[in-house]
Amino acid sequence: MVAEREVAVERRNLSPAALYEEAVRRGEATIVATGALTAETGKHTGRSPQDKFFVKEPTSQDAIWWHPGNRPIASAKFDQLLAKMEAFIATHEVYTQDVFACADPRYRLRVRVITELAWHSLFARNLFIRPTAEELEDFEPDFTVISMPSVKADPSVDGTRSETFILVNLGRRIVIIGGTGYAGEIKKSIFTALNYLLPAQSVFPMHCSANTEPDGSDVALFFGLSGTGKTTLSAEPSRRLIGDDEHGWSDRGIFNFEGGCYAKTIRIHKESEPEIYTATESFGTILENVVFDERTRIPDYDSDEKTENTRAAYPIDLIPNAVLNGMGSHPHNIMFLSADAFGVLPPVSRLDEDQIRYYFLSGYTAKVAGTERGVTEPEPIFSTCFAAPFLVLPPERYADMLVERVKRHHSDVWMLNTGWVGGPYGVGERMSIAHTRAIVRAILQGDLRGASTHVDPVFGLQIPNRVPGVPREVLDTRDSWPNPDDYDRQAEKLRAMFEKNINNIGKSASSAG
């Protein structure tokens, strides 16, 4: 195993306090006034999906969905970059955390994370499930992640796109990460691995948040891309949080893959998100790229000076109503969240079987119009199964698993627009969070299950005629536009984008080897 190779200094399974000391001693991070540790990720303030490669090797190459997002790399190239990493490890301090992925013991994956940076080791400890002292005594990893930001690739020699690389070797159960200090690559590499490993065990891997009633009943799932409200809506004080990002659906129910949360902090406020805000301001939490006052060391969560993608990584037990065993029953309700900047999707609609498959494969949201000259319209974002960068198998495999489970367990599936109503970005208004919460509450209380509906003329969606706490004019998107003809044109335009995207998915999947 990699961990048995020559190591200059290895610091294994250090506590948060010890890792604070190491990170500060090495100049990697700063302790801010709240007690959190803040660190900068360098030039990479988010993931680098174009620098991720799968090793083309006999045990997995016929199963992988080979498309532009899943690039192959030869085993020999992986070996030479791994050798470069091992040479670095042999002359530098490294930090090892032995952790688990998957709360359900039947599917538990033992993960060894070896990092160059002390704060990355704390990140792994926060985000994954922490073993007991007894479980660590005979710990042997099923999967190893090695993250060394100082090790950079030479594209002309190593076959990479740039000096940054994330190489996934499913045969040898190793991921190596170099040239980037963004910690999110560590957790997402294991999510990628689980998207490959779990379907073979009849578990549906999902990029979603999940919560439940206090008694453990009435589980709800929230699928959505960044900025759609996935974390905010699942962190509801009246319900218990199972997890905020990654889950599996087995024959017993839902289980969290992780033991922590990775919340966006840009413009976070205590009044609107009290549980997340309190966790963000706690000892043991890592703040990524958050600006703070050099004198007082008070964080400025409103500042996007370094990036919009400011983050807090903390153990889930800092959320007071969290389900600490990370498990729940089969979901009664599933919500697809889309922040539609075109302003044409209804605030809520109930999906039939064909629509569930269609909108799950679409994984839609939209960015607001850019500031560059000539960019005047929103930009559609389609992420297949709400998880395109992490899918390993053809997307239809995941869609089939979702539809089969929805039918077997009689789950209701809804699509919510958390974006714009009354017109597109710049004309309409952002959907009120109070109205979205009222919709979610009505869904969870069963108020919409038998409600009368009308059909959206462009998308064919079933829109409830009434939702308690939401004005009628908000529910009917077309009527909320100043000019319904403008709505029709904009809606037809977006529908055409959906169709083009679905056709492209079909072409990619049919050509996958």
Instruction: Tell me the CATH number at 479.
Output: 3.90.228.20
pLDDT value at residue 216:
81
CA max distance for the chain: 70
Contact (Cβ atoms closer than 8 angstroms) between residue 109 and residue 190: yes
For 304-333, what is the HEC assignment?
CCCCCCCEEEEEHHHCCCECCCCEECCEEE
- Do residues 289 and 232 both lie within one domain? no
Output the pLDDT for position 376: 58
For the cut 80, the answer to whether the pLDDT of residue 358 exceeds it is yes
- The answer to whether position 255 is within a domain reads no
Q: Is 490 left (phi over 0), alpha (psi -120 to 50) or beta?
A: alpha
Residue 3: inside a domain, yes or no? no
Q: Is 92 a catalytic residue?
A: no
Q: Of these residues, 84, 230, 239, 332, which one is catalytic?
A: 230
Is 477 considered catalytic here?
no
The rounded distance, in Å, linking the Cα atoms of 96 and 317 is 22
**Statement to judge: residues 434 and 310 lie in one domain:** no
Label residues 202-238 b or e (16+ Cβ within 10 Å = b): ebbbbbbbbbbbeeeebbbbbbbbebbbbbbbbbbee
Q: How far apart are CA 487 and CA 512, in angstroms?
A: 38
Q: Is 65 a residue whose pLDDT tops 60? A: yes
Tens digits of residue pLDDT in 476-492: 888 889 999 999 999 99
Catalytic-residue membership of 231: yes
Domain presence at residue 230: yes
Is 139 within 8 Å of 110 (Cβ atoms)? yes
Determine, yes or no, domain membership for 258. Answer: no
Alpha carbon separation from 344 to 240, 256, 511 (Å, rounded): 32, 33, 33
Provide the CATH number for the domain around residue 91.
3.40.449.10
Average pLDDT over residues 498-511: 76
Mean pLDDT on 421-435: 91
Residue 361 — pLDDT band, cuts 50, 70, 90? very high
Q: Are residues 311 and 339 in the same domain?
A: no
* Active-site residue flag, 245: yes
* 64 within domain boundaries: no
227 pLDDT tier (thresholds 50, 70, 90): confident
Whether residue 200 has pLDDT greater than 60: yes
Residues 136 and 276 in one domain: yes
Given 228, 231, 362, 418, which residue is catalytic? 231
Specify the range with the lowest mean pLDDT, choosing from 79-93, 288-302, 439-453, 494-508. Answer: 494-508
Structure confidence at residue 232 (pLDDT): 85
Confidence of residue 1 (pLDDT cuts 50, 70, 90): very low
Instruction: Compute the mean pLDDT over every residue in the chain, rounded to the nearest whole number.
Output: 94
My answer on whether 213 and 193 are in the same domain is no
The span from the CA of 426 to the CA of 156, in Å, is: 45
Task: Looking at the structure, tell me whether residues 452 and 366 fall in a common domain.
Answer: yes
User: Does residue 256 lie within any of the structural domains?
Assistant: no
Instruction: Using alpha carbons only, give the angle 272, 274, 276 rounded to the nearest 5 degrees.
Output: 105
Structural domain of 55? 9-59+70-203+263-318
Determine which one of 130, 172, 207, 240 is catalytic: 207
Q: Percent of the chain beyond pLDDT 90?
A: 86
201 CB neighbour count, 10 Å cutoff: 10
pLDDT tens column, 167-182? 999 999 999 999 999 9
Residues 6+ apart with CB under 8 A from 499: none
Q: Which member of 5, 12, 47, 478 is catalytic?
A: 47
From 272, 292, 318, the end of a domain falls on: 318
Q: Is residue 324 part of a domain?
A: no
Report the amino acid identity of residue 396: E
Q: Do residues 236 and 98 share a domain?
A: no
**pLDDT single digits (tens) 108-163:** 999 999 999 999 999 999 999 999 999 999 999 999 999 999 999 999 999 999 99
Residue corresponding to tokens 């999707």: 345
Amino acid 273: pLDDT: 87
pLDDT value at 16 more than 70:
yes
Same-domain check for residues 219 and 342 = yes
pLDDT value, residue 505: 87
Active site residue 300: no
Residues 126, 284 contacting (CB under 8 angstroms): yes
Taking residues 62-85, report their average pLDDT: 97
- For residue 213, what is the DSSP state? -
- Where among 288, 318, 348 does a domain terminate? 318
Q: Are 411 and 398 found together in one domain?
A: yes
Question: 196: pLDDT confidence band, cut at 50, 70 and 90?
Answer: very high
| 326-354 mean pLDDT | 97
Per the annotation, the verdict on 418 as an active-site residue is no
pLDDT band at 508 (very low <50, low <70, confident <90, very high): low
**What share of the chain has pLDDT > 70, as a percent?**
96
Q: Parallel, antiparallel, or unpaired for β 174-178 and 143-148?
A: parallel
Mean predicted confidence (pLDDT) in 176-197: 98
Residues 367 and 449 in one domain: yes
- Would you call 84 a catalytic residue per the annotation? no
**Count of domains for the chain:** 2
438 and 351, same domain (yes or no): yes
To which residue do tokens 């495999």 refer?
397
Rounded Cα distance, 335 and 220, in Å: 8
Quick one: average pLDDT of 312-327?
A: 96
CA angle 411, 415, 421 (to 5 degrees): 155
Residue 306: how many other CB atoms lie within 10 Å: 14
pLDDT above 60: residue 473? yes
pLDDT digits (tens, 9 = 90+) for 34-63: 999 999 999 999 999 999 999 999 999 999
Give the β-pairing of 71-74 and 37-39: unpaired
Q: Which pTM does this prediction carry? A: 0.94
What gap in Å lies between CA 182 and CA 165, rounded to an integer?
Answer: 12
* Helix (H), strand (E) at residue 246: strand 246-249
Residue 257 belongs to a domain: no
Tokens of 265: 């902090």
Q: What is the pLDDT of residue 3?
A: 45
pLDDT tens digits for 78-104? Answer: 999 999 999 999 999 999 999 999 999
Catalytic option among 60, 75, 226, 282: 226
Question: Which pLDDT band holds residue 342 (cuts at 50, 70, 90)?
Answer: very high
In Å, how far are 32, 193, 232, 288 from 300, measured between CA atoms?
11, 35, 20, 12
Active site residue 230: yes
Which residues contact residue 21 at a Cβ distance below 8 angstroms, ignoring those fewer than 6 apart? none
**234 and 163 in a common domain:** no
